[in-house]
Amino acid sequence: MSVWIGAVMVGAVFFTSTLSGIFGMAGGLILLAILLSIMPVGTAIAVQGAIQIISNGSRAFLSRAFIDWRVLGTICLGLLTAGILLFILRYTPSLATVCIVIGLMPILVWIPRDWLALDASKPLHAFICGFVGGGLNLAVGVSGPTIDIFFIRTPMDRRKIVATKAATQVISHGAKVVFYWNATMVLTPGEWIAVLIAAPFAIGGANVGFWVLQRLSDANFKRWTRWIVTAVGIFYMSRGISLAFGA
């Protein structure tokens, strides 16, 4: 990895951690897109997971007073079930599949509330959130939009939403690193150093995002989340279709 690529990676980590600190998502989508352009699929997913553990971990720590532990525990049960199934199936990701699936995710945040009234505060819905969201995180590297549909319609306020989602993502990304551990063996010492250097920038970005979040209204928070995720989804879909058809 060249010095320039390392610098871009550090900058991307700070920017995407800030974005995630504000909206609780979107940052991971953008970071994965950057990593996929310079690393094999499995390796990019694992590295993104390692960085996101730090970013989400710092965000969860800053917001720890707002974490809903009951919801978190139920979501983790769903994640564990999905992980066991993927392990049994010996799942291996492809770049085109990853991009297309991620590109489809933004559709979920535009579904009218009356059509799909999901609420993470309900035990069954929380389990489904962990199973589907956690499974997608393992399968394609991100699951923010999927998890978001369980939170964006809940009566929880923005601070509890971001805190609980951050704690959920820490565990989910940790599972992802373990799932793709063998893929990280292709990383050179220089690439590992770049990941370590990026770590404090993930924390810094999370702190900046947390500061902005406190000054954002609930209405603007939910509206901007949808538009940002949609824009990123269009990018992924375009790349996935291009890869699938060999363009």
Average pLDDT estimate for 124-150: 87
CA distance 84 to 89: 9
Looking at the structure of the chain, the number of domains it has is 1
Give the domain extent around 53: 3-244
What is the average pLDDT value for the chain, to the nearest integer?
83
The more confident residue out of 219 and 65 is 65
- The C-alpha atoms of residue 237 and residue 242 are separated, in whole angstroms, by 8
Q: What is the mean pLDDT of residues 139-158?
A: 79
pLDDT in tens, 78-95: 999 999 999 999 898 889
Tokens 């820490």, residue? 170
C-alpha dihedral sign at 95, 98, 100, 102: negative
**For residue 3, how many other CB atoms are within 10 A of its CB?**
9
Give mean pLDDT, residues 121-126.
92
Read off the pLDDT band of 25 (50, 70, 90): low
Neighbours of 91 (CB within 10 A): 12
pLDDT at 18 over 60: yes
pLDDT tens sequence across 87-116? 999 898 889 999 998 888 877 767 776 677
Q: What's the rounded Cα separation, in Å, for the pair 244 and 186?
A: 25
What are the pLDDT digits (tens) for 183-235? 888 777 777 787 788 878 877 887 888 788 777 776 677 677 778 878 888 88
Note whether 141 and 45 are within 8 A (CB): yes
CA 175 to mean position of chain CA atoms = 13
pTM (two decimals)? 0.77
The answer to whether 149 and 116 have CB atoms below 8 angstroms apart is yes
DSSP for the chain? --HHHHHHHHHHHHHHHHHHHHHSSSHHHHHHHHHHTTS-HHHHHHHHHHHHHHHHHHHHHHTGGG--HHHHHHHHHHHHHHHHHHHHHT----HHHHHHHHHHGGGGGGS-TTT----TTSHHHHHHIIIIIHHHHHHHS--HHHHHHHHTTSS--HHHHHHHHHHHHHHHHHHHHHHTGGGGGG--HHHHHHHHHHHHHHHHHHHHHHHHHTTS-HHHHHHHHHHHHHHHHHHHHHHHHHHHTT-
